[in-house]
Amino acid sequence: MVRDINPAKLRAMAARNAEASKKANTPQHGNRSQQSDRPQNNGRRDSYKDNFQTDESVKDLGGKFYNPYTFIPFPKRAPERHEPSLLTADENGSSEKRYTGVLNLSVKTVSPLLSMDVENKKPEGTHFKYRALTIGNDVIVPATSVRGSLRTLMTILNGGTLGYMDKNMWLCQGRDSSMNLVGKNGAKKTELAEVVEAGDSFHDGTIQRGETRMVSLGALNDLFRKNGKDLDECRPQSGHSVKYCYTNEQMSKLSAVYSNETPWKIKLSGKRIAHNLTEAKNADGGLAFPEVDQDLVKKLAAAAGISLSDDRGNPVSDELWVDSPTEMTSMKGICPDREHGRYFLKFNRNNDRFELNTYGQEAIFKKNNSAPEKVSAEKWGDYVGQNANGAHSNLFSGDLVWLELGEDRSVQSLQWARWGHGGNKSRRFRDLLPKSLVPDSMNGDNQVDAVTDLFGMVPDKDVKNGLSFAARIRCHNLVFENAAVNGLDKSIQLAPMGQPHPGCIAFYRKEDVLNGYKVYRNAKDDEKPWLYSVQGIFDDQGRDMDNAKFDKSQQVKTVDLLKVGQKGRMKISFRALNGAELSLLLTACRVDWKLGGGKPLGLGHCKVSVKSAIDENGEDIDLTAIDSLDGIAERVELYNKSQEPVKNMRYPRAVESSRNHSVSRSGLQWFMRHASPSKKGNRQVLPSIVDEDQQLRGYDYKNGKKKNDPLEPFNPRESGSRPHGPNTSPNADSRQQGRESRNKGWGR
């Protein structure tokens, strides 16, 4: 079996790394890793002092919390692999003792357990209400669910190969692939194409090439306004089919359908992102644009009848559109037109001046008469893998897609935006996973580790002459008798759960090294992090959505939870297990389990005990005669440590208000401030399971204000709001829209 990592060595290594990190990240005078603003008595806002999130200074941020999951390290040595054992291994005449029989288990809930009847749901407001899964008056956890949890647990304890791996999975954090039409400044070349027939991981697809042009935002605004449409309302929305518009070459006509008069298809970006041009460089390394003349700004504003201050005398936060970045002669304070459609001025309170900004350009596309071009299934699969956490995770017939081009103009990748995925911060999951831990079903050598040998295998479709064999462990339903009568807490408003994001470098990996097997933590008894009242969300205006507004959210659900202290029973049938295999199974049945849904919220924590073991002849099996398994004691110790209940187990929650009182919300805000890979000096990483202090900081971090323990919920009602990016977390609506789009074939 696998010999494992010594926790004492891990602790010593962690201490050395922490000391090195502390020395390397000591802030130097003059650095500006991040700034925040705070209101002063005079109504103005000054820059906050520097906050560096090194091992030491991050402790001052307050709001300590435990992440809902941690990792058990991968084994240093490859797991032993061998030919699989057949279901009839006990009939081959070998002298090795084999065990066939049934384990009778008792399972007691330590935290509420979520076992939903997904087929029995009812609309409740904008989300759904789910009943517990029952048979008669018994609450059931299906055998398939128990089987999956047990296999994962045994893999972690044994340090074995993965049971499943998505070959097209990419680990992407942010957009890291820059492309433009001419490939200048080191960017890759790109052009638009129209999807004729969308492919996937298993099937090739086809695209239609054509001509791509970039147009100014002002020209588009002019076109849409003259046709009675709001340009921003026509931008792509997450989870919805893209409604394209068409125009002519002069951009004087607008249509919802293609025609000979309007052959140019408009590709709008999903969200306008401003770029400050104050420090933009030209090809020679000098400043590309002169400093904005503040006196000229006042003159142009006066000539246009624009006030540069609000009622309180503070500078306006509006966008002031100008006709030229270098020789300004006019200004507009409303939606830009063709003359004022690319550059605008915006007041920077830190520098106390108006500065030059741009939103960049949009694109239009006209297909040519060439034959549709085939794009391989691998590239379609890469698109899905790279955009799994994006607003447009699938492409459909009629969509416009950016092509990353090679030197010969061949298609290197498909991208939704010109600032795409798959660059220097992105990695294929299969390239980071140790080769020894690749699922046995994908190896093709018909060798298996101990856990696969117990649970059976069906070879991957790409494996030739792969061997299939049956499982020798079979889980039965977990039954809580009569629990549906008085053992349920009904109509519980469940806290929202974020979509897993394994691309996050700070949490899932250390650059090109994965952290290990993922395990979920447990919360202290009195905390109840699964409740919406404990971990709520903010509405579109940045206000706390209390329980009264719960029904207006699409990201939540109402459920029935099995109460704490409920006792259930289940059986595990096994056949032809040798002593080591039975020992591994018994070890897994003597540690805590996590069952059902909502594990990141602390749900499903169970205590398991073996009541009896009966062999095929109805006789008791003497479990005391089964030797403990060599080589896994340290892994069991690490797993047990990960299951110890902790205080303040939360999803990261943070809200920031900017200098103009606008609000940035959602859990992603915490990662943007604390865990962004682009901020090398101030990134918090997930502590190791062996670290003495495994807490993170800044749970309710607001405006740079340092909060003290205990957790203090942020009340955003005192702040304003601003539009935010699309929600990319899965919910009932987005999943239904995805199904409908696949059935209809958008744009066909």
pLDDT single digits (tens) 603-620: 999 999 999 999 999 999
Residue written as token pair 């670290």: 691
- Residue 229 pLDDT > 50: yes
Residue 448 has pLDDT above 80, yes or no: yes
704 is in which domain, residue-wise? Answer: 7-65+687-713
The pLDDT assigned to 578 comes to 94
| Same domain? 330 vs 410 | no
Pick the more confident residue, 723 or 231: 231
Q: Is 257 contained in some domain? A: yes
Q: Which pair of tokens denotes residue 81?
A: 């692999």
Q: What is the mean pLDDT of residues 483-502?
A: 87
Give the end-to-end CA distance of the chain in Å, rounded to a whole number.
Answer: 55
Tell me, yes or no, whether 254 and 382 share the same domain: yes
Is it the case that residue 486 has pLDDT exceeding 90?
yes
Q: Is 461 left (phi over 0), alpha (psi -120 to 50) or beta?
A: alpha
Categorize the per-residue pLDDT at 231 as very low, low, confident or very high, splitting at 50, 70 and 90: confident
DSSP state of 291: P
Question: What one-letter code names the amino acid at 565?
Answer: G
CA dihedral for 262, 264, 265, 270, sign (positive or negative): negative
Among residues 429, 456, 480, which one ends one of the domains? 429
Averaged pLDDT of the chain? 80
More confident position, 199 or 26:
199
What pLDDT, on the 0 to 100 scale, is given for residue 351?
85
Residues 6+ apart with CB under 8 A from 248: 261, 262, 263, 264
Instruction: For residue 704, report the phi and psi dihedrals to the nearest 5 degrees.
Output: 75, 0
User: Residues 466, 612: one domain?
Assistant: yes
Tokens of 238: 């997450």
Whether residues 323 and 446 share a domain: the answer is no
> Within a domain: residue 738?
no
264 and 399 belong to one structural domain: yes
Last residue of a domain, one of 373, 394, 429: 429
pLDDT for 11 = 47
Helix and strand numbers, DSSP H then E, in the chain: 14, 38
Q: Match 């304070």 to its residue by tokens.
A: 333
Would you state the pLDDT for residue 221?
84
List beta partners, residue 353.
348
Q: What is the pTM of this model?
A: 0.75
Among 256-270, 405-419, 662-676, name the one with the lowest average pLDDT.
662-676
Q: Is 114 within the bounds of a domain? A: yes
Of the residues 400, 429, 458, the one at which a domain ends: 429
Q: 186: pLDDT confidence band, cut at 50, 70 and 90? A: low
> In 10 A of CB 713, how many CB atoms?
13
Weakest-pLDDT range from 123-127, 432-436, 562-566: 123-127
Which three-class secondary structure state does DSSP give residue 593? strand
Residue 720 in any domain: the answer is no
Q: pLDDT > 70: what percent of the chain?
A: 76
Q: Does a structural domain hold residue 726? A: no
- Identify which has the larger pLDDT, 680 or 722: 680
Task: Write the pLDDT tens digit of every residue in 8-31.
Answer: 444 454 444 444 434 333 333 332
Q: Are residues 534 and 636 in the same domain?
A: yes
* Site of tokens 């400050």: 276
- Three-class SS state of 272: coil
Q: Is the pLDDT of residue 142 over 90?
A: yes
Answer yes or no: do 437 and 534 share one domain. Answer: yes
Q: Is 286 found in the same domain as 207?
A: no
Please say if the pLDDT value at position 301 is more than 60: yes
User: Beta strand pairing status for 513-514 and 517-520?
Assistant: unpaired
Q: For residues 370 and 472, state if they share a domain.
A: no
Q: What is the pLDDT of residue 288?
A: 85
Half-sphere exposure of 345 (CA within 13 A, CB side): 30
Q: Which amino acid makes up residue 203?
A: H
When pLDDT is averaged across residues 704-709 and rounded to a whole number, the result is 37
Residue the block writes with tokens 């008791």: 620
Evaluate if residue 739 carries a pLDDT over 60: no
Is 416 a domain residue? yes
Is residue 76 included in any domain, yes or no?
yes
Q: Which of 65-74, 142-151, 242-251, 701-710 has the weakest average pLDDT? A: 701-710
State whether 161 and 189 are in the same domain: no
454: number of Cβ within 10 Å: 24
More confident residue, 214 or 32: 214
As for how many domains the chain has, the answer is 4
Mean pLDDT of 59-79: 84
Q: Is the pLDDT of residue 503 over 70?
A: yes
In the predicted model, what is the mean pLDDT of residues 77-104?
89
* For residues 388-417, average pLDDT: 89
Asked if residue 331 and residue 294 are part of one domain, the reply reads yes
Residue 733 lies in a domain: no
Q: Does 579 have pLDDT greater than 70?
A: yes
**Alpha carbons 72 and 690: distance in angstroms, whole number:** 9
Q: Specify the DSSP class assigned to residue 628.
A: P
Q: Are residues 526 and 612 both part of a single domain?
A: yes
| % the chain with pLDDT above 90 | 46
